[in-house]
């Protein structure tokens, strides 16, 4: 087997270092596609646009050769995508990992065992033994990239640098769909540039499901938005640092870091159910955002259920909030242009 065989995945809870340590390349299947709408023949029309567009890519052959697909049982739609994939691409191996819905010591321990199961399955497919040293190296590379990206985000939160948000998304996309090493190689080019901050944009915190097209961030800047911070599963939630705490296993370190730091709407902190809303308030204050914009996928019940609590928490702190719904297309985002521009004009008053 060769080093460039690809393992496809669709969820930010997928441990990329585990895939790379087993000798595969990780490839996040993003939903951006020109493929015809065919998923409706297999899935209900009122279902997550992310899942449907990924399935459209599979049905249209709009994917490279894959050795296997790794799914995360994060929600009902993702589970159905896993089932539909077996019909859409019967030649692909598939593996689905269960993801606890709450944050606790038991759930973190359970997820660590799922990550270990993934590692040993991938190594078995490669015909090799699991190598803890290889995983440690991949985690170090992952954390190096996370630290570099965090520095860029800190710069973004303080000043408006035209094009920086789009560049950062390109780096993250490279890590997700190419390799962590190639993403790391992009950082020095930015560091060598003399970035000149500019005025005239309103700092805003954005959060939601997915926002993976770098061009969208350029459009936001055209519409008077300075993306001071973001919280998307294709952005900051994807590139979560792994806090290693020897002598615990790297699988446990990954599970703890991902369960506690990835603020996905489908995961609940049972000891503090309002933690997600408070986290948005704290992030808005820390980054100096004058307002918050949510981009939520249609039919995403977990996120829609969280919005009232987030709205109330922001309102208590007098932080303006705008919620937008749509699919993942650039056209869908552009339909909200007038509302976004009106919102930022209000923030300037």
Which CATH number belongs to the domain containing residue 160 in this structure? 3.40.50.11900
Structure tokens at 103: 């944050």
The pLDDT tens digits for 87-98 are: 999 999 999 999
**Pair 298, 311 in one domain:** yes
Answer yes or no: is 1 within a domain.
no
Q: Which residues pair with 229 in a beta bridge?
A: 205
Residue 4's pLDDT band, with cuts at 50, 70 and 90, is confident
**Tens of pLDDT, residues 269-321:** 888 888 889 999 999 999 999 999 999 999 999 899 999 999 999 999 999 99
Q: What is the pLDDT of residues 62-96, one digit of tens each?
A: 999 999 999 999 999 999 999 999 999 999 999 99
Could you tell me if 207 and 230 are in contact, meaning their C-beta atoms sit under 8 angstroms apart? yes
> 192 and 73 share a domain?
no
| Whether residue 63 is found in the same domain as residue 144 | no
Shared domain check, 153 and 108:
no
Domain boundary among 118, 133, 148: 133
Domain boundary among 133, 159, 179: 133
State whether 175 and 83 are in the same domain: no
Residue 45 and residue 122 in one domain: yes
Domain membership flag for residue 148? yes
Q: Is residue 121 part of a domain?
A: yes
Same domain flag for 241 and 335: yes
**pLDDT given for residue 349 in this prediction:** 56
Q: For residue range 11-20, what is the model confidence (pLDDT) as tens digits?
A: 999 999 999 9
CB 75 within 8 A of CB 54: no
Q: Which residue has the tokens 């087993």?
A: 22
Q: What is the CATH number of the domain that holds 34?
A: 3.40.50.11890
Global confidence as pTM: 0.93
CA-angle at 338, arms to 32 and 287, nearest 5°: 75
Domain boundary among 81, 103, 133: 133
Same domain flag for 237 and 173: yes
Cis peptide upstream of residue 202 (ω within 30 degrees of 0): no
| 296 shares its domain with 274 | yes
Nearest residue to 6 (alpha-carbon basis) of 84, 93, 58, 64: 64
Give domain status of residue 342, yes or no.
yes
Cα gap 162→218, rounded to integer Å: 8
Measured CA to CA, the distance from residue 237 to residue 235 in angstroms comes to 6
User: 216 near 152, Cβ under 8 Å?
Assistant: no
- In the chain, how many domains are there? 2
Residue 227 falls inside a structural domain: yes
pLDDT in tens, 19-60: 999 999 999 999 877 778 888 888 888 889 999 999 999 999
Residues 245 and 270 in one domain: yes
Residues 73 and 172 in one domain: no
Range of the domain at 13: 6-133
DSSP-assigned letter for residue 70: E
Q: 95: which strand partners? A: 70
Tell me whether residue 146 is in a domain.
Answer: yes
Cis status of the peptide bond prior to 247, with omega within 30 of 0 = yes
Are residues 274 and 202 part of one domain?
yes
């Amino acid at each position: 087997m060769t080093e460039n065989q690809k393992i496809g995945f669709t969820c930010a809870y997928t441990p990329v270092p585990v895939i790379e340590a087993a000798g595969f390349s990780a490839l996040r299947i993003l939903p951006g596609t020109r493929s015809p709408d065919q998923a409706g023949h297999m899935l209900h029309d009122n279902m997550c646009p992310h899942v449907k567009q990924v399935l459209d890519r599979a049905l249209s052959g709009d994917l490279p050769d894959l050795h296997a697909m790794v799914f995360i049982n994060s929600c009902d739609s993702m589970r159905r995508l896993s089932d539909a994939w077996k019909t859409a691409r019967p030649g692909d191996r598939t593996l689905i990992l269960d993801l606890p819905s709450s944050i606790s010591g038991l759930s973190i321990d359970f997820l660590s065992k799922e990550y270990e199961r993934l590692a040993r399955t991938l190594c078995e497919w490669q015909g090799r033994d699991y190598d803890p040293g290889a995983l440690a190296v991949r985690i170090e590379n992952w954390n190096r990239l996370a630290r570099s990206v965090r520095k860029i985000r800190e710069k973004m939160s303080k000043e408006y640098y035209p094009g920086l948000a789009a560049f950062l998304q390109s780096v993250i996309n490279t890590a997700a769909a190419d390799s962590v090493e190639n993403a790391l190689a992009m950082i020095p080019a930015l560091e060598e540039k003399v970035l000149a901050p500019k005025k005239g944009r309103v700092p805003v915190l954005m959060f939601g499901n997915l926002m993976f097209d770098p061009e969208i961030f350029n459009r936001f800047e055209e519409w008077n938005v300075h993306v001071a911070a973001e919280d998307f599963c294709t952005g900051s939630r994807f590139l979560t640092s792994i806090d290693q705490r020897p002598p615990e296993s790297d699988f446990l370190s990954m599970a703890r870091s991902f369960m506690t730091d990835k603020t996905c709407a489908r995961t609940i902190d049972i000891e503090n159910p309002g933690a997600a809303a408070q986290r948005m308030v704290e992030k808005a204050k820390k980054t100096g955002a004058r307002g918050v914009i949510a981009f939520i996928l249609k039919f995403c019940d977990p996120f829609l259920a969280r919005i009232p609590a987030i709205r109330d928490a922001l309102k208590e702190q007098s932080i303006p909030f705008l919620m937008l719904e749509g699919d993942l297309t650039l056209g869908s985002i552009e339909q909200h242009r007038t509302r976004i521009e009106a919102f930022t004009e209000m923030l300037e008053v």
